[in-house]
Amino acid sequence: DAGVTQSPTHLIKTRGQQVTLRCSPKSGHDTVSWYQQALGQGPQFIFQYYEEEERQRGNFPDRFSGHQYPNYSSELNVNALLLGDSALYLCASRTFDGNEQFFGPGTRLTVL
């Protein structure tokens, strides 16, 4: 079991561009959440996907959107990138009826 995987590992973009980050959940997990972790801060909840729909959302603008596929993998899309979007983006998965989340290694996004 590879656990939660994310791609790419690192990404450099310029302001105004768009980015797509990808996540494959741990085997057996069907619920995926995305978090933004700025340097020196705790993870901030972006949104959660279950059954291919966004179920919960944190305090993030609609420039942040996502998708979940039938195989439970998920994407995070960020449009019109700002310098402040530079952060580590973490994906976490769990079973719908469980509590314990398993985190992926993250994607380090740098916006120049």
Binding site for other proteins (CB under 8 A): 33, 35, 40-45, 48, 50, 55-56, 58-59, 90, 96-97, 99-106
Shortest spacing between CB 16 and other proteins, in angstroms: 29
Could you tell me the CA-to-CA distances from 2 to 6, 40, 67 in Å, in that order? 11, 28, 21
Question: Which residue, 39 or 62, has its beta carbon nearer to other proteins?
Answer: 39
Closest listed residue to residue 28, CA positions, set 78, 71, 60:
71
How deeply is 105 buried, as exposed, middle or buried, from its count of CB atoms within 10 A (0-12, 13-18, 19+)? middle
Question: Which residue, 17 or 102, has its beta carbon nearer to other proteins?
Answer: 102
Question: Which residue, 19 or 90, has its beta carbon nearer to other proteins?
Answer: 90
